[in-house]
Amino acid sequence: MAIAHPNIALVKYWGKADATLNVPAVPSVSITLDALTTETRVCFDASLATDSLCMNGIELAPTSEQARRITACLDALRTLTEIRLQARVETRNDFPTGAGLASSASGFAALVVAAAAALKLELSLADASKIARAASASAARSLFGGFAELPAGRSGEDVAAIDLAPAEHWPLEVVVAICAEGPKAVGSTRGMLDSAATSPFYPAWVEAAAADATACRSAIIERDFPTLASVSEASCLKMHAVMQTTRPALLYWNAATMATLQRIRELQQAGIEVFFTMDAGPQVKAICAPGCGRDVASALASVAGVSRVLSSGLGGPARLIDSSCA
Ligand code: PMV
């Protein structure tokens, strides 16, 4: 059994340099959370005719999009061995799946670690990260704990995430305001392809991304909260500007999202060190300086439309926790 945690990008990934290899067009920088967890068990079994997949207690149809992506990821690992057996995969998230909380990031990171162990493959972190990236680019970052970066690539290139700093370097706190519980309307892969093809802002977004990643990296190394807040909010708002100017428009926010952003602005004006980021869904992630999470959680819990808040610290890397059937 392997576990992995979702990660939240501060400088965002949105856009592919190579859609077939799933190589990002922009660099991204993330933090890995400790309070949300995916657990995945993989057993290769000679009695199975196809991969058999169970997610959160529900069997996935082999023809479903999720099953297809999981099998493609298992195939990438099987081709590195002589083993051609099919696998039983059981995976469970202790947080909402497919709702803008990066369940695909923790899901594919845990899958690669569990399946590689079951196949007795000794993968380097970089190789594990590349295989996870091919399935879901943000998953490449969940192989690492603390702060990680996934560089941009070019067409035909194979890129892996890199470790920037461990969680202890700067124990930021994260409060997630749940603004809607359901799954997101448009998945990130479809959305990114549409954005690249139709948003007039997409070229400017790609052009500025390297400078944002550099500023974010330095702010993390220097533990400079105001700079991290400024670059992260700007990257998030630019990504959502690209999304909103895509055709058909990608409108991931709801009224509670907007009310939460305004509450965070008030907290900032009151001197609390906090900033926001959002992904392909309505949830708002409030990133807090060490020690500020409690006040932010109680302020966001009372925002109209927020059903609940989740509080987290920064977590460790994806890892094997027992090797019975990996
Ligand atoms: O890796 P994907 O395909 O789930 O895309 C993730 C995209 C965002 O969550 C919106 C941004 C990011 O960098 O995580």
Ligand 1: atom nearest CA of 139 is 1
Among 97-106, 135-144, 263-272, which is the least confidently predicted range? Answer: 97-106
Q: Which of 8, 11, 13, 31 gets mutated to test ligand 1 (max ligand atoms within 8 A of its CB)?
A: 13
- Report how far ligand 1's centroid is from the alpha carbon of 187 (Å): 9
pLDDT in tens, 165-213: 999 999 999 999 999 987 677 889 999 999 999 999 999 999 999 999 9
Say whether the peptide bond before residue 248 is cis (omega within 30 degrees of 0).
yes
Among residues 258, 99, 261, the alpha carbon closest in space to that of 188 is found at 99
Pocket flag, ligand 1, residue 118 (CB < 6 Å): no
- Report how far ligand 1's centroid is from the alpha carbon of 38 (Å): 17
Q: Which of 133, 188, 242 gets mutated to test ligand 1 (max ligand atoms within 8 A of its CB)?
A: 188
Pocket flag, ligand 1, residue 7 (CB < 6 Å): no
**Cβ contacts of residue 80 below 8 Å, gap of 6+?**
119, 121, 123
Residue 310 and residue 304 in contact, taking contact as beta carbons nearer than 8 Å:
no
pLDDT in tens, 117-169: 999 999 999 999 999 999 999 999 999 999 999 999 999 999 999 999 999 99
Pocket flag, ligand 1, residue 188 (CB < 6 Å): yes
Is pLDDT at 107 greater than 90 in this prediction?
A: yes
pLDDT in tens, 36-45: 999 999 999 9
Pocket flag, ligand 1, residue 13 (CB < 6 Å): yes
- Report how far ligand 1's centroid is from the alpha carbon of 162 (Å): 17
Pocket flag, ligand 1, residue 189 (CB < 6 Å): yes
- Report how far ligand 1's centroid is from the alpha carbon of 159 (Å): 16
**Angstrom distance (rounded) from CA 74 to CA 42:** 10
Predicted confidence at residue 119, as pLDDT, reads 97
Q: Whose CA is nearest to atom 8 of ligand 1?
A: 279
Residue 280 and residue 191 in contact, taking contact as beta carbons nearer than 8 Å:
yes
- In terms of pLDDT, which residue wins out, 72 or 325? 72
Residue 296 and residue 175 in contact, taking contact as beta carbons nearer than 8 Å:
yes
**Torsion angles phi and psi, residue 274, rounded to 5:** -150, 150
Averaged confidence pLDDT in the chain: 96
Alpha helices by DSSP H, the chain: 65-78, 103-118, 125-135, 139-142, 188-198, 202-221, 225-244, 255-269, 293-301
Ligand 1: atom nearest CA of 22 is 3
- Report how far ligand 1's centroid is from the alpha carbon of 65 (Å): 17
| Orientation of helix 188-198 relative to helix 202-221, angle to 10° | 120
Q: Render the burial of 279-314: b for 16+ CB within 10 Å, e for the rest.
A: bbbbbbbbbbbeebbeebbebbeebebbeebbbbeb
Is pLDDT at 244 greater than 90 in this prediction?
A: yes
Among residues 253, 248, 156, 238, the alpha carbon closest in space to that of 203 is found at 238
**Angstrom distance (rounded) from CA 10 to CA 215:** 11
Q: Whose CA is nearest to atom 6 of ligand 1?
A: 138
What element of type H or E holds 284? Answer: strand 284-288
Pocket flag, ligand 1, residue 161 (CB < 6 Å): no
Pocket flag, ligand 1, residue 5 (CB < 6 Å): no
Read off the tokens for 68.
């297809």
- Report how far ligand 1's centroid is from the alpha carbon of 109 (Å): 14
Pocket flag, ligand 1, residue 252 (CB < 6 Å): no
Confidence band (pLDDT; 50, 70, 90) for 99? Answer: low
Ligand 1: atom nearest CA of 136 is 1
First to last CA, the chain: 5
